[in-house]
Amino acid sequence: MGARRSILVMHDIKQFIKKKANSLGFFYCGFSKATFLEEEARQLDTWLNKNYHGKMSYMENHFDKRLDPRLLVDGAKTVISLLLNYFPKEKQTLSDEEIPKISSYAYGEDYHTVIKDKLKTLMSEIKDGFGEINGKAFVDSAPVMDKAWAKRSGLGWIGKNSNLIHPKEGSFFFIAELIVDIDIPPDGPLKDYCGTCTRCIDACPTEAIVSPYVVQGDKCISYLTIELKDELIPSEFKNKMDNWAFGCDICQDVCPWNSFSKPTVEHRFQANKKILNLTSSEWEQLSEEMFHELFKKSAVKRTKFSGLKRNIQFIKTR
């Protein structure tokens, strides 16, 4: 593992990683022991058995790997969770109520690319500091329960809308992980401060939050506009989409904790002004060429042109 590690105690390693993570733009970094997620296993099993995942069949795959990071990284001992702020400085210009809306996380460059670059650098810095370490980086594209690990790492609690909420930052951030084979002292979880608030539940136009802390995925607007690949969106959601064409921010926008959200300083997340200022007619007349030009670096490209046009047509037809 390298001679330098014998000189440095685990506390120093922990502080080193936090400092390096912060220098890369991650505003919080927490640590938890790599072990089996027993409580989450029961919750996931119940959620899947109720078919709340809809047509996200991938959620049924790698059940054990989702719950045990030791099956993803040989000798895994610690999960390092990191938060990266994406709260926008400015939002879409909604000059009329007919303008299709996209989730604010897609205003700038695709977070997968941005975060992978940062994690690669962080992993390199850790190895430079402490010798050869086995580890892998994860960003929302592997069977890792990122919110569960972030909760265990003391980076927030899981809100009633199933999002991770930080008491000083709200929930407009991405979660990423490094799973490594070194023992680092874990951080403890935070208390749940949602209390009796039900604003997210009350505000969801499709009633996707079926009970506190439980989201029926196939009723969620984000699922309907991104994950659902069918040619048509089910008619039962007609006039319930609140003009969202890609993703949805409603349950975050109404959350009182997001009054603490601060604009991101990550330049790659800065909003594409052309996207923010699209008019209703420009959205309707969007061509495939313009789609690729506007969204070539955005997460919106996940829907593909046909998917975005389907969404726009669905919310436009009354």
Task: Give me the number of domains the chain comprises.
Answer: 2
Are 249 and 162 part of one and the same domain? no
Of 146, 180, 214, the residue that ends a domain is 180
Has residue 2 got a pLDDT over 60? no
The reply to whether 193 falls in a domain is no
Q: Minimal CA–CA distance to 241: which of 218, 222, 215?
A: 222
Pairing of strands 214-215, 135-138: unpaired
Question: Does the pLDDT at position 311 exceed 90?
Answer: yes
CA–CA distance, 206 with 225 (Å, rounded to integer): 13
29 and 172 within one domain? yes
Please identify which residue in the block is written with the tokens 């892998």: 136
Backbone angles phi, psi at 9, to 5 degrees: -80, 165
Cα–Cα distance for residue pair 24/57, rounded to 1 Å? 34
Q: Answer whether residue 16 shows pLDDT above 70.
A: yes
pLDDT tens by residue, 96-109: 889 999 999 999 99
Q: How far apart are CA 69 and CA 258, in angstroms?
A: 30
Which of helix, strand or coil describes residue 85? Answer: strand
Q: Per-residue pLDDT averaged across 126-133, rounded?
A: 87
Q: Which of 95-104, 153-162, 196-205 has the lowest mean pLDDT?
A: 95-104
**What single letter denotes the amino acid at residue 45?**
D
* Residue, of 101 and 2, whose pLDDT is higher: 101
Catalytic residue ranges: 140
**Whether the predicted pLDDT of 292 surpasses 50:** yes
The rounded distance, in Å, linking the Cα atoms of 71 and 58 is 17
Strand order in the sheet with 173-180: 28-33, 78-85, 173-180, 135-138
pLDDT tier for residue 69 given thresholds of 50, 70 and 90: very high
CB 84 within 8 A of CB 265: no
CA distance 142 to 182: 21
**Facing residues of 178 across strands?**
80, 137
Cα–Cα dist 146/314, whole Å: 32
Q: Is the pLDDT at 62 greater than 50, yes or no? A: yes
So what's the pLDDT on residue 4?
47
**What's the whole-number mean pLDDT along residues 34-43?**
96
Mean pLDDT of all residues in 184-211: 97
Regarding whether 157 and 83 lie in a shared domain, the answer is yes
Q: What is the pLDDT of residue 318?
A: 67
What is the span of the domain harbouring residue 217?
Answer: 199-263+270-316
The reply to whether 161 and 232 lie within a common domain is no
Please check the confidence at residue 137 and state whether its pLDDT lies above 70.
yes
Q: Give the pairing of strands 214-215 and 78-85.
A: unpaired
Question: Is the model's pLDDT at 313 over the cut of 90?
Answer: yes
Whether 123 and 222 share a structural domain: no
